[in-house]
Amino acid sequence: MASRSRSPRMQEVERIVRRVAPTDLSILITGETGVGKGLLAKQIVSLSQRRDQPFIQVNSAAIPDTLFESELFGHKPGAFTDANAERQGHIERADGGTLFFDEIGELSLESQAKLLHTIEDREITSLGSNLPLRVDLRILAATSKDLAEEVSQGRFRRDLYFRLNEIQVHLPPLRRRREDILALADHFIRNQGAELGGRRIPDLTPERLRLMQDYAWPGNIRELENFIKSLMVLGNASLAFSRLKSAMNPGGRSADGRISLPEMVRRVEGRVEKKVIERTLQRTGWHRKNTAAILNISYRSLLAKIKQFELAR
């Protein structure tokens, strides 16, 4: 993986990935939707000893519970009513290579138990067969859920969580790596430009560049990629950028575009509140209980504010 990122957060991720990719450790990739978890899994494989071996991706959300075993372990003819032919499962196909469980947080508890046994025993028995087969796998998994929270809520098995999470790589949302936004946009413009035969380079004025850097990109890199695509394919730059702008300032505007007094007050209050919380957290060395006590608010509402204002140490 060439280090292309300017963001310190991503440079740290890249450093960890280069270290752990060549090992056989299980890696859990976490991060919001569209941050590049799927792409990272492929990059990890390409940096590993198994790069020339099979890479099998399993979309955990798409496998119904009833089909989990037959999809994963395969089946012999006649193993169940519809099983006419022999079918290799994902695990056997991945033998010697890498198995990537995407959206692992969507797996039911029942399927989680079956997966755990496979990982622990390193062998499978396909349906309708009684000969276990030894397999050699490296496991990668990705999730946009907070799996530790899923574990504490009893929705995800703790033992499986620890098996998958030998190393965790967290991909930060785009709004936490704003240094990279323009470079990524440039990358997508080039890509898309090549596809379109180099035409329709969007007119990126300084104001538009600033808009792209300031926008929150809730859909992360995928949203940025789609934004550039639509710019280049539809050539609707002024419309696209005015949408971006209004998405940043939802509501509160009068017909001539000026902000109403109540909206202005709301924003100023929000900014002050954020600053006060941030300062107090810094003063207490991020001791949240003490911060809540000083500010005379409940611990719970402090946590909610930290989330709302996206405060980070």
Measure the N-to-C terminal CA separation of the chain; round to a whole number of Å: 28
CB of 38 or CB of 193, closer to Mg ion:
38
Query: Phi and psi for 280 in degrees, rounded to 5?
Result: -65, -40
Least spacing, CB of residue 188 vs ligand ATP, in Å? 7
Given Mg ion, ligand ATP, none, residue 202, with its beta carbon under 5 to 8 Å by kind, binds none
| 38 lies in the binding site for Mg ion (CB under 5 A) | yes
Residue 84 near residue 77 (C-beta atoms within 8 A):
yes
CB of 37 or CB of 208, closer to ligand ATP:
37
CB of 68 or CB of 188, closer to ligand ATP:
188
Tell me how crowded residue 71 is: count the other CB atoms within 10 A of its CB. 18
**How wide is the angle at C-alpha 47 spanned by C-alphas 43 and 52, nearest 5°?**
95
Interface residue with ligand ATP among 34, 89, 97, 173 (CB under 6 A) is 34
Look at the block and give the residue holding tokens 């550039």.
228
CB of 67 or CB of 183, closer to ligand ATP:
183
| 219 lies in the binding site for Mg ion (CB under 5 A) | no
Least spacing, CB of residue 144 vs Mg ion, in Å? 8
d(CA 211, CA 213): 5
- Rule CB under 6 A: which of 143-162 touch ligand ATP? 144
Contacts of 260 by beta carbon, 8 Å cutoff, 6+ apart: 252, 253, 254
Number of residues that bind ligand ATP (CB under 6 A): 14
| 105 lies in the binding site for ligand ATP (CB under 6 A) | no
Question: In this structure, which amino acid lies at residue 240?
Answer: A
Residue 117 near residue 159 (C-beta atoms within 8 A):
no
- Rule CB under 6 A: which of 213-232 touch ligand ATP? 221-222, 225
What are the residues binding ligand ATP (CB under 6 A)? Answer: 31, 33-39, 144, 184, 187, 221-222, 225
